[in-house]
Homo-oligomer: A and B are copies of this chain.
């Protein structure tokens, strides 16, 4: 069982002819609601790949019985939620006009109770972006810990990042996030890589790099027709973690993460086009060769 800690969120993506000025209005020509939140995206990816997964999130009184709730139940995500009845599930409203300009309104909502919540004991946990203090408590109480600070990396203090990394077995970050971690901690990337067992740095469409046992491996992306890059990182982590818990070596886990992400970016939405294990394996074979059964990993 993999546990994922972090946000479940609802994204309202709207098109408008023009963004409104102060005290003006505009009409929405098209609005789509997407299931999102980093932790929920990863949990959905893992569930679709056929692994047991528990999602630890804060949701509002609006969640139970909602379409998102039904979707999670349908794909088999185990929910371990902090329910805040008088709050909303975190919700983002994004408006894009015909010129491509945007405005975003984000409601943190129920996620505020992370700050005051106790962490359960977790044998295998991935901590996605969430409240830094809660993530510290999770890291201290967990057996095996994977971590990606996401864009909330700016909210972490030196002490919080230090504490979490001292418990981290796998670290995921993109280039901006690792740079910010180095600034906050006052250390080099090499020092961080040495501290954690496995580090995976993603570079958007330019592939990813694995640091493990003193070695560095570059994993190229799988070429697909890109519809929307949102959710690529989350699905990469879903693929990696699903493979890791099955016993695949880290480099194979990175390749499986890469292949998983290649499906997601072909469609708009972070949970719209997640592959099952077999679809992933077929595409894996095409680009990386036959995916064998996992070899015994020396960890």
Contacts of A103 in B (CB 8 A): 20, 22-25
Contacts of A20 in B (CB 8 A): 103-105
Partner of A27, one of B25, B27, B107: B107
Q: In the bound complex, do residue A23 and residue B101 qualify as a contact, i.e. CB atoms below 8 Å apart?
A: yes
Q: In the bound complex, do residue B101 and residue A105 qualify as a contact, i.e. CB atoms below 8 Å apart?
A: no
Partner of A22, one of B14, B88, B101, B109: B101
**In chain A between 77 and 110, which residues have their CB closer than 8 angstroms to a CB of chain B?**
88, 91, 93, 95, 101-109
Q: In the bound complex, do residue B22 and residue A107 qualify as a contact, i.e. CB atoms below 8 Å apart?
A: no
Separation of A16 and B25 alpha carbons in the complex (Å): 16
Tell me, yes or no, whether A26 is within 8 Å of chain B by CB: yes
Minimum distance in angstroms from A237 CB to a CB of chain B: 24
Q: In the bound complex, do residue A28 and residue B95 qualify as a contact, i.e. CB atoms below 8 Å apart?
A: no
**In chain A between 3 and 43, which residues have their CB closer than 8 angstroms to a CB of chain B?**
14, 16, 19-20, 22-28, 31
Q: In the bound complex, do residue A31 and residue B102 qualify as a contact, i.e. CB atoms below 8 Å apart?
A: no
Minimum distance in angstroms from A173 CB to a CB of chain B: 22
Contacts of A95 in B (CB 8 A): 105
Minimum distance in angstroms from A276 CB to a CB of chain B: 27
Contacts of A16 in B (CB 8 A): 105
Minimum distance in angstroms from A268 CB to a CB of chain B: 16
Nearest CB to that of A20 among chain B residues? Answer: B103
Check A102/B23 contact, CB under 8 A, given A28-B107, A31-B107, A88-B31: yes
Check A107/B25 contact, CB under 8 A, given A31-B88, A88-B31, A93-B93: no
Which one of A14, A31, A106, A108 has the highest number of Cβ atoms from chain B below 10 Å of its Cβ?
Answer: A31
Separation of A159 and B23 alpha carbons in the complex (Å): 32
Separation of A44 and B31 alpha carbons in the complex (Å): 27
Q: In the bound complex, do residue B108 and residue A27 qualify as a contact, i.e. CB atoms below 8 Å apart?
A: yes
Minimum distance in angstroms from A80 CB to a CB of chain B: 25
Minimum distance in angstroms from A88 CB to a CB of chain B: 6
Q: In the bound complex, do residue A26 and residue B105 qualify as a contact, i.e. CB atoms below 8 Å apart?
A: yes
Would you give 6 A-B contacts (Cβ < 8 Å), ordered by A? A20-B103, A23-B101, A23-B102, A23-B103, A25-B105, A93-B93
Known: A14-B107, A25-B105, A28-B107. 18 other contacts (CB 8 A): A16-B105, A20-B105, A23-B103, A24-B104, A25-B103, A25-B104, A26-B105, A27-B105, A27-B107, A27-B108, A28-B91, A28-B93, A28-B105, A31-B88, A31-B91, A31-B107, A31-B109, A93-B105
Which 9 A-B pairs have CB atoms at the shortest separation, nearest pair first? A25-B104, A28-B107, A22-B101, A20-B103, A27-B106, A28-B105, A23-B102, A31-B107, A23-B101
